[in-house]
Structure 1
Amino acid sequence: MQPSLSRRSFGLSLFGLGLTGLPALPRAAQAASSPSMASPVMTSDVPPPTLEILKWAPATRRALQTLMDAHGHYAEGYDPTQRPYAVIDWDESAIAGNVQETLFHYMLDHFSFLLPAAQFQHLLDTGMGETLLPAPFRNMAGHTISFSGLRQDILEDYQALAAHYGHRPHPLPHEELMEDAALLAFRARMALYHQALRAAQGEEAAQKMLVRLLAGQTIQDGVALTRAANEDALGQSIGQSTWKSPASRAGRTGPVSVTITQGLRLTPEMADLFQILQEQGIDPVICTSSLEDCVAIFATSAEYGYNLPREHILGARLAHHKGVYSATEDASSPFPFGAGKTALLRAHMALRKKPPLLVFAGEDSSADLLSAFPETPLCCLINRKYPAAMQPFLQKALSQRGTATPRYVLQGRDENTGEWRPDEASIFLGETTPRLP
């Protein structure tokens, strides 16, 4: 296990990545070198470690601190043989942004795909047939598009790119690819396909497609690709970009245009929370719908500042053979979306006799997780735009705002900068006015 990283070191690591817009964190009391094996503190003269103020919403920070003080190993009745644990989403929670979508966009930009065309075609076979893409997904002339036609255009772009670049080291140079009409068409159509699939079949189907696109990569190459995508995104401004397919590659669907959101940021408040949880004898457990290996790059890294034990990182898993990812999920592990996320957590934490002490949610996939443990005393939600399944929990947090002992609390952020706000209200991307749910 890596040594515990002080909160000051986390701030310095951000500056090393050129992220000077994020605040350095104050130096904390030294954490145990192996948090998961730490013994309970036996003296009442030692005050419990506390969260830094940073940009926490005050009521949310207070609820978290009260929870840790009441159940951590500074409290009476703490049982080190049954350590309490907190379950935290990764995307849009521990970080601002989504690592799987970030990797997807990077792979499109650099044509980082290794499957033969026939196997790649299988990844796009989602059972939609001749079904039309739902509104408002149209081509640039306003005409409807079928999933079948879009898939065929994507496959022809892929075949052209694989024939041209297939034997060169990946990822390919971005500057060269931006001169290739086939690449511009491919990335626009793939991004459109993903968004349309999400609208037609739901978030889980779209997420599975993104995870499966790593098929053909070795695990080591997938990890390296993820790191490159992270570094690239951390250095970019947060915002939206429009990708268009050139008229010279009109294909069956005609030229298309799609707008993507890009941006990834580290979150000092969450790095601080992870450290204080461990100092309190509470295990932070990441449970995410993104590929587990991709998330572990962030979550276990001292460079990025989160520094969590690898065994507490749970996510989507692909089957693999001789170290190469397959195009199917690992059959022995539930896909962590909805009820599957809860099932994965239960399997991993089967020896713990109690439910999680805390659920901290920001992903679209966490509705079942939020409802599965009625004895969990605190649930925290990032205030963002969620699908319908998550809306009831936002409303519960809103209705309990200002109460003395809320079970649901909100944390606001500014999506234009990726930074949190010291309030429950958020400023959504492209807006300037803070809003509650």
Structure 2
Amino acid sequence: MSDKRMRRLAALGLGAALAMTSLTTAFAADKAATAKVTVDKQPAAVQGYEIDGSNYYKLRDLAEILDFGLSWDAASSTISIDSTSSYKADATKLIQGNWAPATRARIQAVIDANANKGKYVVFDFDNTSVIFDIQEALLVYQIENLEFKMTPEQLPDVLATGIPDLKKELGKSLDGKTVTPETLIADITSDYTWLYENYKGMKGTKDLSYIHATNQYQDFAAKLRYMYSSIGDNFDHAVSYPWVTYLFTGMTPDEVQKLATASHTYWANYGRYAEETWTSPIEQPGQSGVLSVSFVTGLTFTDELLDLYHTLMANGIDVYIVSASPIDTVLAASKVMGYDVPEDHIFAMRNKLDENGVYINEYDYDWGGEGKYAQTQGPGKSTIITNFIAPKYAGAGPLMVFGDSAGDWNMMTDWMDEGDTQLGVIFNRYRKPSDPIWEGSVEASKTIGQADAKFVLQGRDENTGELRPSEKSIMLGETEEVLVRPAS
């Protein structure tokens, strides 16, 4: 719910004199109300009625102006007000919200032309269905709360999983040491061993506030987060994307979903979007030396995207998610944050389970049988659609694909030439020309408002965690709005 909606509802109070959804035979309207109604200090055109000396207004009129959810249960004669959702007079139409008008119009046109015709759409999740990245946020939450189930003996093998060259130089430390996966694993394991023996959430007696003040924790936190970033920067996505999922080794799917739910809730309520920096202590240099790493905090599960999911469903268009985040992380977001996508419509990174039902550090290419489960990133997203989704629709590709970066470009375009995919919706992160989705962004920028546009852009403000009513975005820490990067 937006802060503005919260303030409006609090100021309104929703007293008894407003408890009418319609004027029926229960009351007779004596005359039109003379009281003035203002919203944000502006006059509001709300028809009121004076009945027995009191002023009454229709809740549906107020819901539309103040933008809160409203429903009526005829069976129990109950009016329900939902301050966490937006007002919708028609479930099949998108709310205006902060959509870029031309983008909203194009999406709605595709929905209207294909409603109830057995079609489906596919969403990416991170930086598309949510602003920022749910798994990167979860990694920070997991570190800060020391939510790990591995023993110190297991950790080195987990950290090394999938890395083809443990001696590869990843960079130099602040004090001039050469950093490699091997040196990072040694330092992180040493720190973790101390934490494991001392933290009361593991085998020790010290509480989290005590642990956070120690050099061992600060070194562990900075170097584990650094390792995640450096693997992404130095190795193929086939190495880096599944690597972070191996940190769930020893947990059950239910435990990971519970952890993810706590993380999503925490970051959604964090209320701040900024770049944070962790630096390891000089007193604990280890083999890797003193390291510093920066990352973005905060998540926004926007009203516009939640509404889009439900509008598609209300039009009989099936919704699927294909995400490079771990499956339990996405499942938790769908369940708790209100996307309400069926579990069998969600495809994401999956690890194997052992005979006790706990995760091991091995990707599950055999999920669903016959080795058809690809990594859910880049071309693998199209493989997932081909193997698991399209067969339900006579082999047809998705009607629309929603994404933000290179990892979504294949599934956004692989069925366009065949005419199956009518629209690619790109959430504008001002990507570089080296990112394939830049090509779609350029085309979208040239066809804004065109009825047959193949691509559309949707802007966002990363400083406020909101969509913008424009194709242009404002990047984190900046004030200038931007559309598409120049070619050089």
TM-score w.r.t. the length of structure 1 is: 0.83
Q: Is 118-127 or 138-147 further displaced after alignment? A: 138-147
Selected match of 1:60 from 89, 96, 103 = 103
Contact 1:286 1:312 in 2 (8 A): yes
| Partner residue, 1:426 | 473
Selected match of 2:423 from 349, 371, 378 = 378
| Partner residue, 1:351 | 392
Give the AA of the match of 1:117: P
Give the AA of the match of 1:241: E
2: distance between equivalents of 1:234 and 1:158? 28
| Partner residue, 2:181 | 147
Contact 1:87 1:286 in 2 (8 A): yes
Cα offset, 1:403, TM superposition: 2.9
| Partner residue, 2:168 | 131
| Partner residue, 2:310 | 275
2: distance between equivalents of 1:319 and 1:225? 18
Contact 2:401 2:412 in 1 (8 A): yes
1:325-364 to structure 2, matched below 5 A, reads 325-332=359-366, 333-349=373-389, 350-353=391-394, 354-362=396-404, 364=406
Partner SS, residue 265 of structure 1: coil
Selected match of 2:132 from 97, 114, 129 = 97
Change (3 A) 1:146 1:427: same
| Partner residue, 2:453 | 406
Change (3 A) 1:30 1:96: farther
Q: Is 212-221 or 378-387 further displaced after alignment? A: 378-387
2: distance between equivalents of 1:66 and 1:176? 57
Partner SS, residue 383 of structure 2: helix
The runs of 4+ residues in structure 1 deviating greater than 6 Å are 28-31
Selected match of 2:144 from 109, 127, 133 = 109
| RMSD over equivalenced CA pairs, Å | 2.6
1: distance between equivalents of 2:405 and 2:209? 33
- 1:32-81: CA deviation from partner (whole Å, max 9, x where unpaired): xxxxxxxxxxxxxx9882111110001100001100111103xxxx3xxx
Give the % identical residues: 27
Give the AA of the match of 2:409: A
Give the AA of the match of 1:100: Q
2: distance between equivalents of 1:253 and 1:47? 58
| Partner residue, 2:256 | 222
Q: Is 201-210 or 61-70 further displaced after alignment? A: 201-210
Give the AA of the match of 1:392: E
Cα offset, 1:392, TM superposition: 2.2
2: distance between equivalents of 1:116 and 1:98? 28
Selected match of 2:112 from 58, 69, 93 = 69
Q: Is 365-374 or 382-391 further displaced after alignment? A: 382-391
Change (3 A) 1:430 1:169: farther
Contact 1:25 1:268 in 2 (8 A): no
Cα offset, 1:399, TM superposition: 3.0
Give the AA of the match of 1:246: P
Selected match of 2:234 from 167, 184, 200 = 200
Cα offset, 1:391, TM superposition: 2.3
TM-score w.r.t. the length of structure 2 is: 0.75
2: distance between equivalents of 1:241 and 1:432? 19
Partner SS, residue 315 of structure 1: strand
Compare CA radii of gyration and give the structure with the larger one. 2
Gaps of 5+ in 2: 7-64, 74-88, 367-372
1: distance between equivalents of 2:66 and 2:382? 35
